[in-house]
Structure 1
């Protein structure tokens, strides 16, 4: 018989994270485009981010037919939170030309799946690309990253919002994430964790988890 599940955070009822999830307002609007392969992943940080932000939306799919309309939401300037050669610091973009708040578009999936989302939705790749500040250390210790300083989806969103909306802080979004990571490590046991994940690992910035 399947275990009872919280309908909100989708965790098993005995491990519900809802008490740790804040409700934070932001001038920045966050739009997460999640690859279907991430939906049932135990470490679905994108869902936690949307639950904790009042001005956020999560869409699941590979091809988003309504994307051109979504990117033209009145009162916002859209940008893509994704690392790459043409990406600029998010604060640099936020300070350019306009006082309009940002629409932060975030692809969520593995590196391969996130790049597939960009390929299947050319309007995404055409956006200005932005990244969080350099030199950040991920709290995500359960997945390997291809580069130093890579962040999980929720971490990248938090760091971007902390920059753009300073002095307001969004670190409270990470409380359920850290609890989730701790629970996973506890469940596997310290010896197994140290054998498989002894060195702190991270995720591709805004593209995994």
Structure 2
């Protein structure tokens, strides 16, 4: 029999994270496009990002038929947060600059690239990336590279650059608690054996 689940954060009721999830305003609009394989994952950081920001939305799928409408939302310049040779480093907004609609694919690198392949409008967006990446605190997933981040960490760092000096660190509170709880549940020796760097 499955444990009762919080309908909002989708964690077991006994481990609900809602009290730690902020409700932060941002000039930037965030649209997270999540590959279906991530939706049921216990460490669903994209969901935490969407819940923690007032101006964010999470869509789950592989082919997004309404993408054109989402990308043409008035008052925003759409761009894709995804590294690559053409990606421009994010900088703080200039005076009077229109805010960005930051589109963030969520999934493994392979699945994120598949989302771009299946949605040509997504692949055609101007790309942006982080000029400097603070180290990830995602201690439970093996990263393909030293500068790889979870979706929540990438969104937090991107907003902190764009909207400096505003801070979005509060977004990471439920994430840190989630990781601490997962490590406690598996036991320190199991964590050290399988995950410690």
SS of residue in 2 equivalent to 1:168: coil
Q: Does 1:156 align with 2:154?
A: yes
Report deviation, 1:50. Answer: 0.5
**1:135–1:29 Cα change, 3 Å:** closer
CA positional deviation for 1:161: 0.3
Which residue of the partner structure matches residue 135 of structure 2?
A: 137
Residue segments in structure 2 that go unaligned for 5+ positions in a row: none
Measured in 2, the distance between the counterparts of 1:70 and 1:85 equals 25
Instruction: Give 1:13 deviation, angstroms.
Output: 0.4
Q: How far is 1:186 from its partner?
A: 0.8
What is the distance in 2 between the residues matched to 1:18 and 1:132? 28
| Structure 1 residues not aligned, in runs of 5+ | 200-209
Shift of 1:135: 4.0
Contact 1:4 1:12 in 2 (8 A): yes
Deviations 1:55-77 (A, max 9, x none): 00000000001111111111000
Q: Distance in 2 between matches of 1:198 and 1:172?
A: 25
Q: CA deviation at 1:98?
A: 7.1
- Tell me the distance in 1 between the aligned counterparts of 2:196 and 2:44: 22
Residue 18 (structure 2) aligns with: 18
RMSD: 1.4
Q: Are positions 1:107 and 2:135 aligned together?
A: no
Alpha-carbon distance in 2 for matches of 1:30, 1:62: 18
**For 2:194, which of 183, 193, 196 is the aligned residue?**
196
1: distance between equivalents of 2:49 and 2:113?
Answer: 21
Relative to the length of structure 2, the TM-score reads 0.96
- What residue in structure 2 maps to residue 46 of structure 1? 46
> Do the aligned partners of 1:133 and 1:159 also contact (CA within 8 Å) in 2?
no
Which contiguous aligned blocks of 4+ residues in structure 1 show a shift greater than 3 angstroms? Answer: none
Q: For residues 9 and 18 of structure 2, what CA distance do their matches in structure 1 show? A: 6
Displacement, 1:133?
Answer: 3.1
The superposition leaves residues 102-140 of structure 1 with CA deviations (integer Å, 9 ceiling, x where unpaired) of 000000001111100000001111111111232410010
